[in-house]
Structure 1
């Protein structure tokens, strides 16, 4: 995948540089413009990856920048081609391959992080079961100390929601309070229904 991305990056860079020179940019600008376009793709993808690791969707700006810069990269590559369908497909392919390879890599990183988090949540859940009644059960048998922790977790989640525009996932809440993912989901559900004040 890295070799594919490297080949695609070099060819895409050359096409965008050629287009910039053909439209009156000087050597320095022509050398930097392709880096700005593909760099925006990388920056937006990294932002989305960071949000995914926190259990968030990433927001409008990174998605918009990813889509716009991807279209700009493909469009610039197609624009330097001869005006035939085959020439345009050939010219556009390196940019499409670069974007695709990078996004496949990001998907693998996200899935790896999700699997690691899932494993930690299962381990915490099994540990809490072996210690006695399951933590995070919202029944009348919950201790006051546990209920207070659930309220603190919900207050933390609503603070994050005000700052970032959406509630964190149950897994993120659980990780913050060192509990199982199930506990975090129960906190989120109970908070949303008003059980936690």
Structure 2
């Protein structure tokens, strides 16, 4: 195993361990704070248990939605980022609201939740960067569900060493684009090419650019629009 790959795996495992540790701490401290806040404001015991889970669940779902969007060349959309922001602010706000009314008390109460949110997002950033690296590799294959383990090592290896036979696939994609023109004679968009071959939008744009430059066979004679 290459030294840089071993380093990446160590970093990932250390980050995951840290996030799990902080999640355990936050599950005890932050959950109790939000639970007590709900009870103080008239919610019953069931609601006081479910509401904190809903807040933290919002953060997780929004982060995973952004991660999935990154795999397909998108930033994730305003809704996912808005939900991530709202969930994070709700978690921090609930912890601060239950704290002793002093600066020190509020910092202490908010710290577990802030540490968990920040650490979780750092882990997601590592995975998103690895996903973008894999998508940026020409001919890279990232099948749906393949990143289920979120293994940065596998993603980086795939990005550095694309699978064999991708040259034929690139030519096939370019020929498909030439045979499926738009009504005005223009080539399909990079995203349309990518969707046809289950690849990232960046891969589709790369195919279109390489084809127009004559690197995948006969160049196209129509304008690239």
Between the two proteins, the alignment pairs up a number of residues equal to 167
| Aligned match of 2:178 | 148
Contact 1:170–1:187 under 8 Å retained in 2: no
Equivalent residue runs for 1:76-155 within 5 Å: 76-119=94-137, 120=140, 145=175, 148=178, 151=181, 154-155=188-189
Q: Larger helix proportion, structure 1 or 2? A: 1
Q: How many Å separate the matches in 1 of 2:161 and 2:209?
A: 16
Q: Partners in 1 of 2:127 and 2:67 — Cα distance?
A: 8
Task: Report what 1:55 is aligned to.
Answer: 73
Closer, same or farther in 2 for the Cα pair 1:68/1:187, shift >3 Å? farther
Task: Label 1:30 to 1:154 Cα distance change in 2 as closer, same or farther (>3 A).
Answer: same
Shift of 1:187: 7.2
Distance in 1 (alpha carbons) for counterparts of 2:99 and 2:133? 43
Q: Give 4+ residue runs of structure 1 displaced > 3 Å after superposition.
A: 115-129, 144-147, 149-153, 158-161, 184-188
Q: CA RMSD in A?
A: 3.5
TM-score, normalised on structure 2?
Answer: 0.61
Aligned residues of 1:40 and 1:65 also touching (Cα < 8 A): yes
Runs of 5+ unmatched residues, structure 1: 137-143, 162-167, 175-181, 189-193
**Displacement after TM superposition at 1:79 (Å):** 0.3
Q: Deviations over 1:152-180 (max 9, x none)?
A: 8724726999xxxxxx7423x26xxxxxx
SS of equivalent to 1:154: coil
Deviation for aligned residue 1:150: 8.3
Query: Partners in 1 of 2:193 and 2:177 — Cα distance?
Result: 18
**8 Å Cα contact 1:150-1:187 kept in structure 2:** no
